[in-house]
Amino acid sequence: MKLKKSYTLLYLPEDYGPTRQIKISRWAVVSCCVVVLFLGALSSLYFLGVRTGSGWLPGGSRLQRENRALVGQIEVMEADVGSLRAEVENVFQIQNQVALAVNLPAVDEETFAAGVGGRGSFEFGDAEVPGLESVLEGEGGFAELGQELQRMVRQARIQRQGYQAMLDTLDARELVRDRIPSIRPVDVGWVSSRFGLRKDPFTNQQAFHRGLDFSVRLGTPVRVTGDGVVVAVQQQRGLGRVVKVDHGDGVMTVYAHLDKALVKKGTQVQRGQIIAKSGNSGRSTAPHLHYEIRIGGRAVNPISYILDSYASRS
């Protein structure tokens, strides 16, 4: 369509005012059309860019700005994960040193690194949570962080189990240690007769002495030398008044020639607890305490088990 050189617009007022003519050149009409088309196209591009995330807008679209922010966060997280990885490795080395110190096998490098698995879920504490790999799907930053975090969580679980095994072992050893008779049964006095062959004070003949005799005053406190259970409080020929304590694993201690027992059969006792008063009962020439350690029913030398000179230091 060929444009005219000019166009005339007629203005007709509603009242009886004069009619006016406005003459517009062809170039003015073309310029207005071009401006309207340009503004329409610009508006369309703007809304299209907002909806599709295209980056032609100043500063990028909202999605591009969010992506740039996420990239920055990933970089910070990668630095934090790197620091955490170094700490996990340091704890692993310390764990193995502690394990060797308590005579437990160290965790080898391959076992420690074997926490990496497939997708799915893994335990964290008592909870079951989705695998980080499946949560952080995608390529690059998030997926790699997910794999690394998943590996460190599983390695932390290996370390937790290792330390728990150490605590269990130490608790068991402490329990056994507390049951071993390892202190003197009296705080005072001196050993008047040792374990082994000696001259019997009544017959003057060689006889085997099954324990240690502590020369003490009448009524001296007698302490149990290890944790256990009282299995006998009785009067026994030759030994007089006796208290016997079972320490488990076939270990028993015997306290004889007592003046008074302060416990009953079935009483749970702890190392260092006063269980009797020394005396001069039974076949005895003077106040003293006769002390025996029996293993599997056989008397052994108590001096080999006394690690502390005085019971009150236990």
Which among 232, 221, 237 has a CA at the least distance from the CA of 289? 221
- The whole-number pLDDT of residue 19 equals 72
CA separation, residue 142 to residues 72, 133, 136, 148, 184 (Å)? 12, 9, 5, 10, 66
- The whole-number pLDDT of residue 239 equals 93
- The whole-number pLDDT of residue 151 equals 79
- The whole-number pLDDT of residue 146 equals 74
Which among 132, 289, 103 has a CA at the least distance from the CA of 214? 289
Which CATH topology does 190-313 take?
Glucose Permease (Domain IIA) (2.70.70)
Residue ranges covered by each domain of the chain: 6-52, 64-179, 190-313
Tokens of 181: 């008779």
- The whole-number pLDDT of residue 176 equals 74
Q: What is the maximal distance between C-alpha atoms in the chain? A: 162
- The whole-number pLDDT of residue 256 equals 96
- Backbone φ and ψ for 116, nearest 5 degrees, come out as -75, 125
- The whole-number pLDDT of residue 114 equals 58
- The whole-number pLDDT of residue 137 equals 44
Spell out, as residue ranges, where the chain has pLDDT lower than 70. 1-7, 9-12, 14-17, 26, 29, 45-61, 64, 111, 114-142, 308-314
Predicted TM-score (pTM) of the model is 0.52
